[in-house]
Structures are given as structure tokens and as C-alpha cells.
Amino acid sequence: MLKKIKIYTNIAKIENPENPKIEIEQKLTINDDGKIIFSSSLMGDGKGHYQKGRKEEFSIEQETVKEIFSYVEEYFKDKPVYGIIPGFGMFELDLQDSHNNYHNYYGAISGEHNDVTEYIRHRIFIKDLILLG
């Protein structure tokens, strides 16, 4: 059983670097107690110096957390650890189980994992959530 999911998303390679207000990076943590932590960074000056974007913290129902954990764990159990595609944005997914073991996945934001993204978006209501693409 999972204890925590962390998703880090960076779309720097696929967004227009000339717009300093583009949300270029997102971090989402889902804890087994229902606590959700979300933060983002904006493109800023375009030289790797991102600016703080949004920050949200709230809780969701335990049953919803269990559903998300079960879905994500099942989805990734047979997936390769790496799925990077040059020229695309990327994500890092960290799954922490109840024994504090970590399972890490890395991939491109290419649409391959849209099912997972949509599943989570329909349960955690954060505007413009990128997740796994």
C-alpha cells in the first residue's frame, strides 16, 4: 500500500520561454492522510531562474486517496522506470510505500500517460494541473 505520491513536472522544453508568466514547473504531493500540497514555478527571466507561482494546500477524502493510490500503483507496476523522449517536457513520479521503500519513474510529457493524468484531475481539483501530460 502506498503512503505518498510525489509528482514533479517540468515543461520548459515545450513552452514558449519568452513569456515570463508561463507556469513551467509543478509539484504535487498526495499523502495517505488526504493532505494535498501543490506548488508551481513561473518561467521568470527564462535563464533558469524560475519565479514562485501558485501554492495550494488542502485535504481530500481518505477514500479518494485510496482510489488514486490504487490506480497509480496498478498502472505503473509493469511500466519501465525511464521513458524520456528528447524535446518534450518531463515528469518524475515518486511512490513511497508503507515500508518507506521508494519506487521512482521518469517520463516524457508526451500524452502516453493521459489516463493517469485525467484520473487524478477528476479527483483533485487544481486548475491547469499538468501531471504526466
Closest listed residue to residue 119, CA positions, set 7, 3, 1:
7
**Amino acid 102: pLDDT:** 93
Order of strands across the sheet that contains 51-59: 51-59, 35-42, 23-31, 2-10, 90-97, 102-108, 82-83
Domain-by-domain residue ranges, the chain? 1-120
**Amino acid 14: pLDDT:** 62
Confidence bin at 133 (pLDDT 50/70/90) = confident
H helix runs in 1-133, sequence order: 62-76, 114-121
Amino acid at 119: Y
H helix runs in 25-102, sequence order: 62-76
Tens of pLDDT, residues 109-124: 878 888 999 999 999 9
> Residue 15 pLDDT more than 60?
no
Q: What mean pLDDT is reported for the chain?
A: 88
Confidence bin at 44 (pLDDT 50/70/90) = confident
> Quick one: average pLDDT of 17-31?
86
Counting residues of the chain whose pLDDT is more than 70, the rounded percentage is 88
Under a CB-based contact definition with an 8 Å cutoff, are residues 70 and 95 in contact? no
Tens of pLDDT, residues 52-94: 999 999 999 999 999 999 999 999 888 777 766 666 788 999 9
CATH architecture of the domain 1-120 equals: 2-Layer Sandwich (3.30)
